[in-house]
Structure 1
Amino acid sequence: MVSMQSAGASAPFTGSSATPTPKATSADLKIGFLESVDSLNPFQGLNDPSYLLYGLVYDYLFSFDEDGNYVPNLALSASCDAVCMNWTYQIRQGVTWHDGTPFTVDDVVFSINYNSQSIFHLWAFEPYMNRIVQCSGKYPKQGCGAFSNSPWNVTVYFDRPFVPGKSVFVPIIEKAQWQGISPQQAQYSYPNPNPIGTGPFVADAAIYTEYQNQPAQALHLFKNPNYHPVGTHTGPSPIDNIYLQQFQDEQTMAIALLRGDIDLAKMTSAGIGTVQGQANVGTQEGLLSTQYWNEIGIEQSDPGNKQTSLNPARWDVSVRRAMAMATNKDYVVSTIYQGKGVRGDSLMSPITPQWWYDPTSDPGANLTFDIAKANAVLDAAGYGSYWT
Structure 2
Amino acid sequence: MFMKTNRAQTRARLMAGIATAAVTLTGVMASAETVRWARVADALTLDPHSQNEGPTHTLNHHIYETLVGRAVDGSLTEGLATEWGISEDDENVWVFQIREGVTFHDGTPMTAEDVVFSLDRARTPPSGMAALHAAVEEVTAVDDTTVHVRMSGPAPLYVQNLTNTFIMSKAWAEENGVETAPNFAAGEEAYSVRNTNGTGPYVMVERDPEVRTVLQAFDGHWADAPEVTEVIYTTISEAATRVAALLSGEVDIVQDVPVQDIARLEQTDGVRVVRGPENRNIFFSYDMSSETLASSDADDNPFAKPEVREAMSLAIDRNAIRQVVMRGESQPSAAPLPPFVNGWTEEMDAFGDPDLERAAELMAEAGYPDGFSVQLDCPNDRYLNDESICQALVGMLARIDIRVDLNAQTRSLHFPLIENWETDFYLLGWGVPTFDSQYVFDFLVHTREGSYGSFNGSRYSNPDLDAKIQSLSTMTDLEARDAMIAEIWEEVMEERIFLNVHNQVLAYAMRDDINLDVHPENQPRMTTVTFD
RMSD of aligned C-alpha atoms?
3.8
Aligned with residue 70 of structure 1, among 71, 76, 101: 76
Alpha carbons of 1:285 and 1:113: their partners in 2 closer, same or farther (altered >3 Å)? same
Equivalent residue for 1:245?
234
CA positional deviation for 1:295: 5.3
Q: Measure, in 2, the Cα distance between the counterparts of 1:87 and 1:337.
A: 43
Aligned with residue 148 of structure 2, among 135, 155, 165: 155
Alpha carbons of 1:186 and 1:173: their partners in 2 closer, same or farther (altered >3 Å)? farther
Equivalent residue for 1:189?
189
CA positional deviation for 1:296: 5.7
Verify: 1:276 aligned to 2:271, yes or no: no
Aligned residue for 1:240, secondary structure, equals strand
Q: Measure, in 2, the Cα distance between the counterparts of 1:199 and 1:251.
A: 33
Equivalent residue for 1:15?
none
CA positional deviation for 1:167: 4.3
Mapped contact 1:61–1:167 kept (Cα < 8 A): no
CA positional deviation for 1:238: 1.6
1:146-196 deviation digits (Å, cap 9, x = unpaired): 112233211112224334412442111111122332536354322522211
Mapped contact 2:50–2:181 kept (Cα < 8 A): no
For structure 2, list consecutive stretches of 5 or more residues without a partner in the other structure. Answer: 1-30, 291-305, 367-460, 463-489, 496-532
Q: Measure, in 1, the Cα distance between the counterparts of 2:286 and 2:154.
A: 24
Equivalent residue for 1:103?
110
CA positional deviation for 1:254: 1.1
Q: Measure, in 2, the Cα distance between the counterparts of 1:37 and 1:239.
A: 20
CA positional deviation for 1:348: 5.0
Aligned with residue 244 of structure 2, among 245, 248, 255: 255
Mapped contact 1:96–1:103 kept (Cα < 8 A): yes
The letter for the 1-side match of 2:197 is: I
1:62-86 deviation digits (Å, cap 9, x = unpaired): 1122211111110011111479542
Q: Measure, in 1, the Cα distance between the counterparts of 2:317 and 2:145.
A: 46
The letter for the 2-side match of 1:153 is: T
CA positional deviation for 1:26: 6.2
Aligned residue for 1:228, secondary structure, equals coil
Q: Measure, in 1, the Cα distance between the counterparts of 2:179 and 2:196.
A: 17
Q: Measure, in 1, the Cα distance between the counterparts of 2:334 and 2:37.
A: 31
Verify: 1:28 aligned to 2:15, yes or no: no
The letter for the 1-side match of 2:49 is: F
Equivalent residue for 1:228?
222
Alpha carbons of 1:47 and 1:250: their partners in 2 closer, same or farther (altered >3 Å)? farther
Mapped contact 2:40–2:239 kept (Cα < 8 A): yes
Q: Measure, in 1, the Cα distance between the counterparts of 2:283 and 2:172.
A: 33
Aligned with residue 285 of structure 1, among 275, 278, 281: 275
Structure with more strand by fraction: 2
Aligned residue for 2:226, secondary structure, equals coil
Structure with more helix by fraction: 2
Equivalent residue for 1:146?
139
Mapped contact 1:345–1:358 kept (Cα < 8 A): no
1:317-350 deviation digits (Å, cap 9, x = unpaired): xx9xx99x95958355455533322245666532
Q: Measure, in 1, the Cα distance between the counterparts of 2:241 and 2:179.
A: 41
For structure 1, list consecutive stretches of 5 or more residues without a partner in the other structure. Answer: 1-24, 133-143, 230-234, 304-318
Alpha carbons of 1:297 and 1:148: their partners in 2 closer, same or farther (altered >3 Å)? farther
**Length-normalised TM-score, structure 2:** 0.50
CA positional deviation for 1:128: 1.5
Equivalent residue for 1:137?
none
1:103-135 deviation digits (Å, cap 9, x = unpaired): 11000000111122x23x112x23311222xxx
1:194-241 deviation digits (Å, cap 9, x = unpaired): 21100111111x32xx22xx43xx210000112113xxxxx2212110
Q: Measure, in 1, the Cα distance between the counterparts of 2:317 and 2:344.
A: 16
Q: Percent identity?
A: 18
Equivalent residue for 1:127?
131
